[in-house]
Structure 1
Amino acid sequence: MTLRVATFSQSSMMIENALRLQSAMADEQIRESSGVISDDFGGYGSTAQHVINLQVSVTRSQSYIDAATLAGSKVQVMYSAVGSMTDIITQLRSQLSAASTGSSSELTSVINSAQQMLQEMGSLLNTQYDGQYVFAGGKSKAAPVDLTNFASGTGSASTADASYYAGGSEIASVRVATDQSVSYGVTADNSAFEEIMRVLKLVANSSSLSSSDITSALDLASKALDDTSAVQAKLSKAASQIETASARQSDYKSFAETLSGDLTSVDLAAATARLSIYQAQLTASYSALAKIFSMNLASYLR
């Protein structure tokens, strides 16, 4: 292609405009095919900071949702374990009531049952989830309950005894929002659990249950049942708070994602219209250039 001196300036300008149109058209085609305005924040101009803030908010909300999901699962595991403890103490009460008017064989039976129940309680209090002991407080990597010495000692209905506990004192909580945390932890030395362990130890280590022993055990078992039900109610409330907070974060995340999408997504209809305009302009530029390049002296001498 040879440029004539007389038309060089005009031709160069038209070529430059055509290349600029071609580049703009190529960029628009990329945006149309990718669905986003730009592949980096620099392409968003004055809205870049808004896009960044929204994306940070989405990430933060997801972290709260993940934390709430894990905590919610732990609460469900704890609630189920406490439900099993309630079954144990309820069964013990029934057996004690029957033994109070029964034969010596029934007394022996309730003692044997208490020994088994004590082991079951130890196992329940050492419940694990996601590699952590859920009733261990801050020392969640180690089993919080050890019955080696506790199970063999003489029990007392009136004296609290949580010597079986080796966990931490911290109560687990989860941050579900920037300004909200939900406390949901229960440790194995909780008074309700200690009362169950105490009455089981009392019954399990009795050589023969006297009527006064049975009366004391029944009173303590009734109190333990009421207190264990209160623990379940507390766990249920925590689960509800965690679920509500998680749902709120999910709603906010969806809202922020929608806003971010509005700022970063391409309007396909508008992009298609712009491509049509660019194509028409580019076709016209190529046509004009073709006419200029085809001009020569012979054309004027005819």
Structure 2
Amino acid sequence: MVMRVATFAQSDLMITNALRVQAVMANEQEQESSGLKSQDFGGYGSSAGQVVNLQVSVTRSQSYIDAAQLADNKVQVMYSAVGSMTDIITQLRTQLSAATTGSSTATASVINYAQQALSQMGATLNTQYNGEYIFGGADTDAAPADLTSFATGTGSLTTADTSYYKGDSEIASVRVSDSQTVSYGVTADNPAFEQVMRLLKFVGNSTTLTSSNITQALDLASTALDSVSTVQAKLSTSASQIETASASQTDYQNFTQTLSGDLTNVDVAAVTAQLATYQTQLTASYSAIAKIQSLSLASYLK
């Protein structure tokens, strides 16, 4: 039998195919180690734009979560501070009630308490969080309450006085989504706080308290307590809104990351199985190439 030995074309074709399989294997080995379909957006083809948009939306969502967390922390500090104010006004009202008996001791006690409480109230209004004054509006670098001039004289139980306030009128707010902003701030000149300050100033700077004064002071104390409680309730509502919005963003992130994962992640088990198949194919290809390349006319004619 006559046989024509021509190996070049066959060898070249088989080597080309083997190199192609090797390139595919290299790509799948990278997928197996990283768990991703591609290390760059070009490898995602027509899905690249969608992958980019999903990743951008996740980053934006995280910025909302971070902002909400910071705002929520501030609200918690505000809530605690206002709670301290509630304690101050509650104690003052208790001592004013005791002074209605006309006891000089009870009267002296409430005056002394009001003096101390006024200083405490000023410190509370100058509460800071993370180095910023939280009751000064947008002016977070300077203490919003200055009692230097305010604390002199008795003032009036009926006329509002916010001369102690050095901040601005900006109410803090936080954007928690593309379409939602939550206002949560409260400034030190809030009417509820002003009522407490006015009452403490009057009582604390009085040399004596008449029965009429005490009655008026008790009425203002009750009003102030209700007002401060309302402020605290609003802060609680703001905190709830912020936390709900943050939770929604977290849910959105989870959903978006799942969608993104469907586009970018590979089934590692399937890739591993495919690699085993390619490895077998490649081994067979190189074996065949070696066999063909070992053939020559001289060896055939022997």
- Give your verdict on TM over 0.5: yes
Alignment correspondent of 2:157: 157
Name the structure 2 match of 1:221. 221
CA shift for structure 1 position 181 = 0.4
Conserved 8 A contact 2:154-2:203: no
Q: Secondary structure at the match of 1:16?
A: helix
> Are 2:33 and 1:21 equivalent residues in the alignment?
no
Where does residue 179 of structure 2 map in the other structure? Answer: 179
Match of residue 45 from structure 2: 45
**Residues 155 and 203, structure 1, Cα contact 8 Å, conserved in 2:** no
Q: Which amino acid aligns with 2:79?
A: Y
Tell me, in whole angstroms, the C-alpha distance in 2 between the residues paired with 1:272 and 1:222.
Answer: 74
Deviations 1:137-188 (A, max 9, x none): 0101110000000011222011000000000100000000000000000000
- 1: CA distance, partners of 2:108 / 2:144: 30
Partner AA of 2:30 in structure 1: I
Please say if 1:64 is aligned against 2:64: yes
CA distance in 2, matches of 1:126, 1:21: 71
Q: Could you say which residue in structure 2 is the equivalent of 1:85?
A: 85
Q: Is the 8 A contact 2:37 2:265 kept in 1?
A: yes
Q: CA offsets per residue over residues 108-143 of structure 1, 9 Å max, x none?
A: 111111000000000000000011111110101110
4+ runs deviating over 3 angstroms: none
Structure 1 partner of 2:138: 138
Q: C-alpha deviations, 1:218-259, integer Å up to 9, x for none?
A: 111110001111101100110110111000000001111111
Deviations 1:53-110 (A, max 9, x none): 1111111111111111111111111011101100100100110110111421221111
- The whole-number CA distance in structure 2 between the counterparts of 1:30 and 1:153 is 79
Taking structure 1 as the reference length, what is the TM-score of the superposition?
Answer: 0.96
- Report if the CA contact (8 A) 1:107-1:209 is conserved: yes
Cα distance between partner residues in 2 of 1:65 and 1:263: 24
Provide the rounded CA distance (Å) in 2 between the counterparts of 1:131 and 1:178.
28
Alignment-mate amino acid for residue 80 of structure 1:
S
1:198 is matched with which residue? 198
CA distance in 2, matches of 1:66, 1:205: 46
The residue number in structure 1 matching 2:121 is 121
Distance (Å, rounded) in 1 between the aligned partners of 2:298 and 2:8: 19
In structure 2, stretches of 5+ residues that fail to align are: none
Matching residue of 1:8: 8
Distance 1:268 1:103 in 2: 84
Distance in structure 2 (CA, Å) of the matches to 1:96 and 1:37: 74
Question: Which ranges in structure 1 are unaligned for 5 or more consecutive residues?
Answer: none
Distance 2:105 2:216 in 1: 20
Contact 1:11 1:292 in 2 (8 A): yes
Following TM superposition, by how much is the alpha carbon of 1:271 offset from its aligned partner in structure 2, in angstroms?
0.5
Q: Distance in 1 between matches of 2:38 and 2:296?
A: 45
The one-character-per-residue Cα deviations of 1:271-290 (angstroms, maximum 9, x if unpaired) are 12221221122112112111
Partner of residue 271, structure 1:
271
Q: Which amino acid letter does the alignment assign opposite residue 110 of structure 1?
A: V
Query: What is the count of residue pairs matched by the alignment?
Result: 298
Question: Structure 2: how far apart are the matches of 1:267 and 1:67?
Answer: 36
How many Å apart are 1:6 and its aligned residue? 3.7
2-structure distance, mates of 1:102, 1:83: 30
RMSD of equivalent CA atoms:
1.2
